[in-house]
Amino acid sequence: MSLSQYIEMLNLLGDESRIRLCVLLRERELRVTDLVRVTGIAQSRVSTHLGRLREAGFVRDRRQGPQSFYALAVDTLPGTAKALLDEATKSPDPTLEGDQRRLLELDAERRGGLPESFAGEMERHYSPGRTWQSLAVGIAALLRLGDVLDVGSGDGAAASALAPYCRSLTCVDSSSRMIEAARERFSTQPHVRAEVADVHALPFGDASFDSILVFHTLTYAEDPPRALEECARVLRPGGRVVILSLDAHQQREITVPYGERHPGFSPADIRAMLTRVKLDVAASEVACRETKKPHFQVVLAIADKPTPGPSKSAKRD
């Protein structure tokens, strides 16, 4: 090698990102997307670095369909460059070790396993098919429900996960447009009906339902205590009402455009309203918190309607 070639080689390898890419490509072929995932370097920068390395003969590429695979051209590398990269590969440098760890995690995902780094925080990571929707559908399959009422059902999207496991499902909403969409959604399920109704005056007789869903309805109701009073009325003794509601908040500028009338309810607020309509509260607590600002929280409340005890005359008999 001439002096100018030595200088060119030193300039080429005098960049941390190019050293990292060469070390990763030393043993195997990888795509640009793989290198971006492992190193965290922007895709445009990875492509630029690979272009320079390929022009210098340090990297070779192979096309397979629409994808390009890159590998270090070990056989044609100058001896000095090969020695430098060999030493870097064996180095305990934390950046290079981190790249190798993330590469192993990528391999684990492709084999159908999950990286060990997911342990303890799987809810924060994506893996193909493992969505919250799929988990909800799986959990719903454990249920065996009787007659269910979904108050403020919208177009029935939430209730659709439960529909196959109900003896009957009734969806009510104040919006005729939403109910029309719900009827279309459940058109092939004769045990499901959808009706336009006012939550403050439900058109059903006393003790008509075994379970009642009140999912994100209270903050939109004109009179939430009255709405829960109606739910308690149409709930059968021994039946259960489940509530999801935004926790009390101060971000009305965000929620009012969606039609929200009330700025959420705290767990204590919901517990008090349920107790007032003579339901036994099993739980009322914050169940989840959004990761994005302003970090809205959702309250989950569960309450049961007491079963009447034996009458005094029955006790005397």
Looking at every residue in the chain, the average pLDDT score rounds to 88
The radius of gyration of the chain from alpha carbons, rounded to an integer in Å, stands at: 31
What is the CATH class of 133-307?
A: alpha beta
Per residue in 105-118, pLDDT (tens digit) is 877 766 665 555 55
Domain ranges, ordered by start, for the chain = 3-113, 133-307
> Is 119 a residue whose pLDDT tops 70?
no
CA distance 23 to 49: 13
pLDDT tier, 170 (very low <50, low <70, confident <90, very high otherwise): very high
Q: Does the N-terminal peptide bond of residue 294 adopt cis geometry, omega within 30 degrees of 0?
A: yes
> Is 303 a residue whose pLDDT tops 90?
yes
Q: Which two tokens stand for residue 217?
A: 């309805």
> Is 300 a residue whose pLDDT tops 70?
yes
CA distance 103 to 66: 22
Per residue in 261-283, pLDDT (tens digit) is 999 999 999 999 999 999 999 99
CA distance 77 to 75: 6
What is the CATH class of 3-113?
A: mainly alpha
> Is 208 a residue whose pLDDT tops 60?
yes
Which pLDDT belongs to residue 117? Answer: 52
Which region among 32-41, 126-135, 190-199, 289-298 has the lowest average model confidence (pLDDT)? 126-135
Find tokens 């009322």 and name the residue.
284
Is pLDDT larger for residue 154 or for residue 12?
Answer: 154
Half-sphere exposure of residue 92, counting CA atoms within 13 Å on the CB side? 0
Which pLDDT belongs to residue 311? Answer: 57
Q: Tell me, yes or no, if the two domains 3-113 and 133-307 fold the same way.
A: no
